[in-house]
Amino acid sequence: MPELPEVETTCSGIRPHLLDQSVLKVEVRQARLRWPVSQEIEDLVQQKVISVKRRAKYIFIEFADGSIIAHLGMSGSLRITQEDEELKKHDHLIFTLSSGMQMRYHDPRRFGCMLWAENPLEHKLIQNLGPEPLEDTFHPDYFYAKAKTSNLSIKQFIMNNAVVVGVGNIYACESLFLSSISPKRVANSISKARLTKLCGNIKTTLARAITQGGTTLRDFVNQDGKPGYFQQELFVYNREHEECSKCGKKIKRIVQAQRSTFFCSTCQK
């Protein structure tokens, strides 16, 4: 599943191609995504894009009367193409722009969405989300106050979108490793000093991933539209049985809430 850095990179990649462009045509080749494609999206002809923003893992494409809420789901991507480029099997929505380019939504598993909202921040999918991890509203005092009332494991806690948005499986594992905190620890058992360190490492890890994703933006208008930031070097994620970069012991894998967790049992307590 695309994580926050990939969504941010996607948002940054499509923004310059969409801003101030009018939609000349909308073709919905497959309306059955996670939820049916909103009818309002098909009626956007001659409407101009005002802004392209991200909230959590959702992308808002704003017009005068409302916004598209796009989510990439498990396998989705948005890419910018020439109008005459051959369509792919799973290109489900095609937006033809006044520039002559197209934006195409590609999603083999069809678990993403393309919805419409007059005010996206008030949409039921958005309104109860926690703070953005890279903004000042996510800070150690807030983080500690939330953790004090939680009996969840710390990994499940930081992946809870009501606590903080966008900390997916990869970066939960990485941030906990950098903070020397076991993913099995109960959130309310961890000291404020250690949670403060974790808060900072969540910010640093995500910011680094976004920066590395940004280096591929020159390739965004290409065959697959994938930012490619997953090529970065990771400390523990998907490294079961490999040596820990700190102590040399083997990285372990366990399953928490049906997700693989990678950690070093020596370094993380």
Residues acting as catalytic residues: 2-3, 57, 259
Residue 100 and residue 17 in contact, taking contact as beta carbons nearer than 8 Å: no
Q: Give the separation between CA 218 and CA 214, rounded to whole angstroms.
A: 9
Helix axes 192-214, 4-18, angle to 10 degrees: 40
Q: Please give the C-alpha separations between residue 11 and each of 132, 159, 210, 269, in angstroms, as whole numbers.
A: 15, 21, 11, 37
Strands (E), 177-228: none
Tokens, residue 29: 């080749």
* Amino acid in the structure at residue 179: S
| Dihedral pair phi/psi, residue 144, rounded to 5° | -65, -40
The count of C-alpha atoms lying within 13 angstroms of the C-alpha of 234, restricted to the half-sphere facing its C-beta, is 22
Q: Give the separation between CA 103 and CA 123, rounded to whole angstroms.
A: 24
Unique residue bearing structure tokens 């309002």: 40
Q: Please give the C-alpha separations between residue 164 and each of 33, 84, 129, in angstroms, as whole numbers.
A: 26, 41, 7
